[in-house]
Amino acid sequence: MAKPKNSGRLSAAERAALLNTASKTAPAAAPVRAPVVAAPRDVSFETLPGYKTIQIQKQAGDLLGISVPFYRLHQVRAGARSVVDGRDLLNFASYDYLGINGDPRISKAVADATEEWGTSVSASRLTAGERACHRALEEKLANIYGAQDCLVHVSGHATNVSTISSLMGPKDLIVHDSLAHNSSVVGAHQSGAHRMVFAHNDNGSLEDILTQHRDRFERCLIVTEGLFSMDGDGPDLADLIALKKRFGAWLMIDEAHSLGVLGATGRGIAERDGIDPAEVDIWMGTLSKTLVGCGGYIAGPAPLIEYLKFNSPGMVYSVGLPVPMTVASLTALDIMLEEPQRVRALQANGQRFLERARSKGLDVGSSWGLAITPIILGDSLKAVMLADRLLRRDINAFPIIPPGVPEKSARLRFFISAAHQPADLDTAVDVMVEEFERLSKEGLSVDTIVQKMR
């Protein structure tokens, strides 16, 4: 009988042929292996480098009865005074140099801007577009430095990192001051450029480096600051300009703490030294100190700014500065320029604090006495303990210890404001002297703490 069509069944010969073909083409079966059992590993975050150090510091603080000085909760707007744990304090740990944070003119301008524009520009300015206030702020900042243009970033730290890393590359040389801010150092690392360090404010050291190494690299960038945030001093700008011209380098000055502080009207180190600011290739600054906002800026030649608009990661890939913050800094800048008496008051306060501290035998290092003065103690334990003693007497001054500063240079750092009263400054110095003398008599040391912890 004939085989039904489409029965779906194979004949014996067809099955044999199919099996023969499969045996020739199928890969050999993989050998069976026992599962690999990984050795147990501690994957907790407590294994991160530095975490153990934090715990040891906390333990030492508990033994000494010292409150943790980091991330203190302020209960009011911090200015020349603040409130922590319900206690009214003299405050020397804020950057409000001209005493205008919370000025009614700024608050109203911010409220109006928020009502009109909201609190975010939603994306980068490259894609989401700009607002008129962005360009107005950049124009006024450019005018401060006699620059062709300016670019405002949403973060001060990212301004340095993004600018330096996008300008320089593996064939280039970056030479920076040994006390340059972390943001400049990180930017130099990320750029891939060769990095060298010159001694703090030592242009002779810089000259030696440039003499020996400049010719080996395509581009060269010299980075320093107008006013150093840890020491309260600054460079010889005229000499730096001469060096950068002689060796064919770009000069970048970080004015984060200079604007509003240096010069007769607060325009920075160029005004202080009577130098045409256009002689400097790159001016950098922040909006969070004198300008009581948030963010950073770069001012300089138009080609530089145009390049950064399309190549600076902190600009291209980061959200634009919110309109309220932009307006806050724009209004603060207007106040600074319209009321130079604030700058004079700040400078007078800074000099008063410096001179009184020196007269009492305190080590103020190389500070110019303009907004920032350190009291250098050397010993980290004494710095932390003295800060705690001052807090108990209603004075807030922050201790700075390594790695924030070099070894054996721990200190208390005092930020002075135009809003401080002369009596505030005198009281702070006098109380500090009293508590330092008591602390010295107690003779506590790191070795004592270590023995208690065992």
Per residue in 115-151, pLDDT tens?
999 999 989 999 988 999 999 999 999 999 999 999 9
Task: Report the run of H or E that residue 157 belongs to, with start and end.
Answer: helix 156-167
Q: Give, in order, the Cα–Cα distances in Å from 349 to each of 68, 356, 372.
A: 29, 11, 11
- Given a cut of 60, whether residue 35 has pLDDT beyond it is yes
- Given a cut of 80, whether residue 30 has pLDDT beyond it is no
pLDDT (mean) for 194-217? 98
Q: Give, in order, the Cα–Cα distances in Å from 307 to each of 136, 162, 170, 300, 329.
A: 20, 12, 19, 11, 24
**What's the confidence (pLDDT) of residue 1?**
43
Nearest in space to 418 (alpha carbons), one of 132, 152, 99: 99
**What's the confidence (pLDDT) of residue 4?**
45
66 vs 341, which has greater pLDDT?
341
**What's the confidence (pLDDT) of residue 189?**
97
Q: What are phi and psi of 275, to 5 degrees?
A: -120, 140
What digits encode the pLDDT tens for the residues 374-398?
999 998 889 999 999 999 999 999 9
**What's the confidence (pLDDT) of residue 62?**
80
CA–CA dist 315, 159 (Å, integer): 8
Nearest in space to 145 (alpha carbons), one of 207, 213, 237: 237
Q: In the chain, pLDDT over 90 holds for what percent of residues?
A: 77
**What's the confidence (pLDDT) of residue 15?**
58
Identify the weakest region by mean pLDDT among 155-164, 195-204, 438-447: 438-447
**What's the confidence (pLDDT) of residue 16?**
55
Q: Is 65 left (phi over 0), alpha (psi -120 to 50) or beta?
A: left
138 vs 67, which has greater pLDDT?
138
CB atoms within 10 A of CB 100: 24
pLDDT (mean) for 296-314? 97
59 vs 28, which has greater pLDDT?
59
| b/e sequence 265-284, b meaning 16+ C-beta within 10 Å | bbbbbbbbbeeebebbbbbb
**What's the confidence (pLDDT) of residue 249?**
98
Pairing of strands 81-84, 87-91: antiparallel
Confidence at 41, pLDDT banded by 50, 70, 90? confident
At residue 328, the 3 state secondary structure works out as: helix
**What's the confidence (pLDDT) of residue 411?**
95
- Given a cut of 80, whether residue 94 has pLDDT beyond it is yes
- Given a cut of 50, whether residue 3 has pLDDT beyond it is no
**What's the confidence (pLDDT) of residue 353?**
98
| Domains of the chain, CATH where assigned | 73-97+340-453 (3.90.1150.10), 104-338 (3.40.640.10)
Pairing of strands 250-254, 220-225: parallel
Q: Output the pTM of the full model.
A: 0.87
- Given a cut of 60, whether residue 24 has pLDDT beyond it is no
Residue type at 406? P
- Given a cut of 80, whether residue 334 has pLDDT beyond it is yes
Question: Percentages helix, strand, coil for the chain, rounded to the nearest 5?
Answer: 45, 15, 40
**What's the confidence (pLDDT) of residue 2?**
46
**What's the confidence (pLDDT) of residue 402?**
87
pLDDT (mean) for 344-348? 98
What digits encode the pLDDT tens for the residues 168-203?
999 999 999 999 999 999 999 999 999 999 999 999
Angle in degrees, CA 146, 149, 153, rounded to 5: 120
CA–CA dist 99, 239 (Å, integer): 33
Task: Report the run of H or E that residue 175 belongs to, with start and end.
Answer: strand 173-177
CA–CA dist 224, 241 (Å, integer): 12
Q: Give, in order, the Cα–Cα distances in Å from 227 to each of 150, 231, 246, 253, 267.
A: 21, 8, 24, 9, 12
Nearest in space to 69 (alpha carbons), one of 410, 450, 424: 410
User: What is the token pair recorded at 355?
Assistant: 């001179």
How buried is 450 (Cβ within 10 angstroms: 0-12 exposed, 13-18 middle, 19+ buried)? exposed
Confidence at 64, pLDDT banded by 50, 70, 90? confident
**What's the confidence (pLDDT) of residue 101?**
97
- Given a cut of 80, whether residue 231 has pLDDT beyond it is yes
